[in-house]
Amino acid sequence: MCEIHRVLVKGRQKSKLAILEFSEPTSDFGIMGFLARVFIRYILPVVGAVLSGAPREYMHLQNSIKDFPSPNEFVALIEGVECGKDEKGSFQVENLVQMNFGSVQLYVASPIMRK
């Protein structure tokens, strides 16, 4: 994250970091979140394994989605990054877009410098 921060700060004035990530939907999304969670846990690995012929990869995908931090935890991780010695660099998450009933998130952050 610090290397990304360094490159963004040296780049254009209005640089942004965008991360598109999967996670398990929370109960905030009601029945559709529940159905998306069932799909990610049980249907996606089976269908992906059958269609691709690579069952281990789809089990790994399901496990990594299950173990990924919640959106609030991931925002805290991004904003908690501290880079640099004299001036501390970090990120500020400006936008969190939840898609597909909470199973996909787009995080948009800007690099910031703190003294």
Residue-wise pLDDT tens digits, 24-58: 888 888 999 899 889 888 898 889 889 988 888 88
Q: What mean pLDDT is predicted for residues 91-114?
A: 93
| Co-location of 32 and 45 in the same domain | yes
pLDDT over threshold 90, residue 94 = yes
Determine the pLDDT at residue 115: 67
| Co-location of 78 and 59 in the same domain | no
pTM of the model: 0.83
Task: Pinpoint the alpha helices (H) of 39-89.
Answer: 44-52, 55-67, 71-79
Tally the domains of the chain.
2
CA atoms of 52 and 46, how far apart (whole Å):
10
Closest CA to 76 of 91, 97, 95, 98: 91
CA atoms of 108 and 95, how far apart (whole Å):
5
Which residues span the domain enclosing 10?
1-23+70-115
| Co-location of 19 and 3 in the same domain | yes
Torsion over CA: 72, 73, 75, 76 (sign): positive
| Co-location of 82 and 105 in the same domain | yes
